[in-house]
Amino acid sequence: MRKIQLKKVADARLTERFGRDLNESQRLAAFAPDGANLILAGPGSGKTRVITYRVAYLIAKGVPAESILLVTFTRRAAREMVGRLESLIGPNASRVWAGTFHHVGNRILRRAASMLGYGANFTILDSEDQLDLIRLAMDDAGLFGTGKMAPKPALVQHLLSFVFNVGRPLAEVLAERHPDLESWRPQLEKAAEAYASRKRAANSMDYDDLLGQWGRLIREFPDQLAAQGRMFHHILIDEMQDTNIVQVALVEAIARAGAGNLTAVGDDAQSIYRFRGANYDNILKFPDRHPGARLFQLEVNYRSTPEIVAFTNASIAHNLSGFPKTLVSARSAGVRPIAVPTADAYEEAEFLCQQILECHEQGVALNRMAVLYRNHHDSILLQAELVARGIQYTVRSGLRFFEQAHIKDALSYFRILVNPRDDAAWRRVLLLLPGIGQVKAAAICEHLARAADPLALLATAATMALVPAKSKGFFAGLVADLNKIRASGPETNPAAAIGALLEGGYPATLRVKYDRPDNRIADIEQLGVLAARYESLERLIAELLLAGDVYGMDTLAEGDSPAEILVLSTIHQAKGLEWSRVFVPRLIEDSFPNYRALGEPGGEDEERRIFYVAVTRAMDELYLTYPLLISRGGRGPSVVATPSRFLTEIDPSLYEPVVLETEFDVGWSRPDQD
């Protein structure tokens, strides 16, 4: 690599730190000339340091701090960078425009709101505020009171936001992602219009408007675009691979209107948020959009051992698209990643817990370990095993399994069958039916409570008389579902009861009530896998409800410290983090890679990037596990699973296969030890 001569800056101390704290490739990137620059920062390569030092360098050579725009994706990242910058250049750091796209958009719009028909005191709607206005807009559009199960406000909110962020018509998005909502398209289009009108009438904006109205400002008012071009002499974008078309269009338009100084920083190999609207081409085609752009690569990895880095290099090399890269570890030698086949998913969960306990006994704190999974539902058996073994953990990927609304729904059906006087379970199930609110649900519950056999009274004319006319069909469906579950023999076959629930009307309810319905159905199927280990529905419910107390804990047990909490997370939530020991379970085809993603253009490459993000979180040891047999919903015979292509496509010399003993808790062996 060619040497670079440090530019002369005013502060000798800062010059010394540039030379001491940055390696050669980092210095090349931090001291990049004016113009368009793309910095490809591999995992653990010091991305945040390079961005911070580049801003410090620009200020040191005379660029006014207030003319630098640094756009990040989280407030935490912005605070961290400004904090580091302050340690380099002092209070001047606070004058840099640093923040998320939405934060910057808010600051700009406060200055020009009147030009767009808003008052400068416009309100920013939080999620609950948005839901309230969307409910009213849906009513305006005739989505309620039709006697049919209309999509829920939360789903409409998610849908309208996604349409905005990908810049595509609602009809296209419905056809691709929500074909079950196609019959509602006219009303949804009207609801979108009504929602926009209500926001404007209320002098309020949601988070998307902070970008949309900013974009409108520079499109409709050329003087505003020119002013922002003069205002921001240098623009830096963090995590370029995560931007959507709206965000990149904003900053690139402003850069073109100004000096043209745009530095994009990111890693195309870690582009994994397409489901949120991120556009992979924003980083991949940056050189095409900016002819003459300079490319800098940070390939020295300070996080992981050479063995882990070699494994990750071999993995991402199989992708068809992306910038060629080869990371080099700056650390001393360690151990190869370990691949462990298990008999089934139950043994996989047991092995993971056993290995976590062994690492803990060796002195590794629980919070230095993480289990990273592709699908949230793949954690249910592990969560149950962790509870059984008394291992404290936190779930970074959302609610703990038994706190999730759809799991509570499913359990409520079964609680009714085990205890027909369970008032809370009756209320929850009744409130799932369109047209039945709190008042009607209370009246029906009170009526059933007076009966010696509430289930027998459920299907009578007297009960049906309490049900609103528009809800009678749905209520009859509930009666049929409960009878079907009872006929499955749940007393001795809990998994069959869950299968009966999924064959009834609940999946249709779930699809209109919640977002990501396919993921939620998969969750309930995994509940069936867990249920297959129980001999009675009553025992399953009792243990799950007791486990729920543990799963729902918001505070640590007395005497525990944060260091004694294991991390469970989806890979998407783990991006940017690192742990000493990382465990990646359920590495089988259809699960990882996800079978739905494989049917989409570029889906396999994105799934491999998700795998790449997972394995590059590991600092010292990496464990990869996969069950040899898998059961769908705990019903029927198990089938042979196919190991993930992300493991089988890698040279076997780069990882260490492990064979579990018959009773694996006495230890496992490597093939060369047999």
Q: Which residues are annotated as a binding site for ATP?
A: 41-48
Could you tell me the two tokens for 182?
A: 């196609």
- Beta-bridged to residue 618, according to DSSP, are 579
Spatial contact of 144 and 150, defined as CB atoms under 8 Å apart: yes
Spatial contact of 41 and 50, defined as CB atoms under 8 Å apart: yes
Q: Minimal CA–CA distance to 26: which of 296, 239, 324?
A: 296
Q: What is the DSSP string of 139-177?
A: HHTT-SSSSS-PPPHHHHHHHHHHHHHHT--HHHHHHHH
Q: Minimal CA–CA distance to 65: which of 80, 81, 45, 42?
A: 81
Q: How many Å apart are CA 315 and CA 385, to the nearest integer?
A: 31
Q: Which residues contact 406 (CB under 8 A, 6 or more apart)?
A: 510, 514, 520, 523, 524
Q: Minimal CA–CA distance to 485: which of 473, 507, 464, 502?
A: 502
Q: How many Å apart are CA 131 and CA 90, to the nearest integer?
A: 43
Burial string for 558-584 (b: 16+ CB within 10 Å, else e) reads eeeeeebbbbbbbbbbbbbebbebbbb
- CA within 13 Å, CB half, 318: 19
Rg of the chain over CA atoms, in angstroms? 28
Q: Which residues contact 558 (CB under 8 A, 6 or more apart)?
A: none
Q: Minimal CA–CA distance to 45: which of 221, 333, 300?
A: 300
What residue numbers does the annotated binding site cover?
A: 41-48
Spatial contact of 575 and 272, defined as CB atoms under 8 Å apart: yes
Could you tell me the two tokens for 560?
A: 């525990």
Spatial contact of 42 and 267, defined as CB atoms under 8 Å apart: yes
Exposed, middle or buried: residue 244 (CB in 10 Å: 0-12, 13-18, 19+)?
A: buried
Termini Cα distance of the chain: 46
Q: What is the DSSP letter of 431?
A: T
Bond into 593 cis (ω within 30): yes
Beta pairing, strands 300-301 & 204-205: unpaired
Q: How many Å apart are CA 201 and CA 195, to the nearest integer?
A: 10
Spatial contact of 52 and 87, defined as CB atoms under 8 Å apart: no
Q: What is the DSSP string of 479-513?
A: HHHHHHHHHT-TTT-HHHHHHHHHHTTHHHHHHHH
The counts of H helices and E strands in the chain are 31, 21
Could you tell me the two tokens for 473?
A: 């069909």
* AA identity, residue 36: A
